[in-house]
Amino acid sequence: MEPTNSNGIPRLGVRELRSDLATQVRRAGTGERLIVTVDGTPVAQLGPIYPDAQPGVESLAAAGLLRLPLRSDHPGAPTDLPLLPIDANPDRILGELRGDPPRRR
């Protein structure tokens, strides 16, 4: 098992890369990203080329532009929220949620 960085991307020493370059390039060609290190310090990234695609989360994390979440057990966004009209008055909606009687204007 090879070491990984905090984002789970495999790290690879430059000596290991030189000794097995063809295999590592094939890995990159299948979509895997590899961080190349020199004396344990990340210096380069080897990965697939996507000519017209937007960078993915893994690419942005590997570039240091964002951090991946440390925990994976956070719940997703709630799916059972009621759909509200755009022009609804917040006081009326809160009143309905609380069970208040409707107000007369």
Q: Which domains does the chain have, with CATH numbers?
A: 11-62 (3.40.1620)
Predicted model pTM: 0.46
Instruction: Tell me the per-residue pLDDT of 55-103, one tens digit each, with 9 for 90 and over.
Output: 677 777 777 778 888 877 777 777 777 776 677 778 887 888 888 887 7
Mean pLDDT of the chain: 79
Strands 34-38 and 41-46, how do they pair?
antiparallel
Quick count: other Cβ atoms within 10 Å of Cβ 68?
A: 14
Q: Rounded to a whole number, what is the largest CA-CA distance in the chain?
A: 80
- What is the per-residue pLDDT for 22? 93
- What is the per-residue pLDDT for 60? 78
* Whether residue 45 has pLDDT greater than 60: yes
